[in-house]
Amino acid sequence: MKQNDYEDIIRLPHHVSSVHPRMSMTERAAQFSPFAALTGYEGVIRERARQTEERAELDEGVREELDRKLEVWEREPGNRRAVRITYFQPDARKDGGTYVTVTGRVKKADGYRKVLELENGLKIPAADIVSFEESGPEDGAEEAPDRQRERQNQGKD
């Protein structure tokens, strides 16, 4: 190769198209980004790998105790007991589900529909509950204001 092979064109101005607008650096870079031939395949693989648990069956004694508690809570609607509940949450996409533990106050217990509603609006079917613990104000849970007043009034008598 000789040194002056491109001497005739090396000093010419860069060509600018009159038809196509100039691309931004981002648009030019996008041309060279990896191509995903199977769109959504990665999501399918992640979903398939996601683990779920099978629902455990409660023994009859625990189920009876839960039914008794629901009856008690249903008869005492103003008494907003602090509870810690572990329940089975079925998975919307595949068989099985996961166990969730929540703490809160019982707003309403519906013995007919077998549903426990917490003050935060969460409704838990009794059939999904696997364990529960009641806690009082002495366990660090706040006592409902109407119960506080009632206890204070009882102490004055």
Top pLDDT among 100 and 5 is at 100
63-101: pLDDT as tens digits: 888 888 888 878 876 677 888 999 999 888 888 888 999
pLDDT band per the 50, 70, 90 thresholds, residue 57: confident
Query: What's the pLDDT score for residue 1?
Result: 52
Rounded CA-CA distance 107/124 in Å is 12
pLDDT band per the 50, 70, 90 thresholds, residue 157: very low
**For the stretch 111-120, what's the b/e string if a residue is b when 16 or more beta carbons lie within 10 angstroms of its beta carbon?**
eeebbbbbee
22-55: pLDDT as tens digits: 989 998 888 887 777 778 888 888 888 888 888 8
pTM over 0.75? The answer is no
| Cα-only R_g, the chain | 33
Is 80 exceeded by the pLDDT of residue 107? Answer: yes
Mean pLDDT of 6-17: 88
Percent of the chain with pLDDT over 90: 13
Rounded to the nearest integer, the mean pLDDT of the chain is 79
Is 90 exceeded by the pLDDT of residue 19? Answer: yes
Q: What is each CA distance from 88 to 85, 99, 118, 153, in whole angstroms?
A: 10, 5, 16, 40
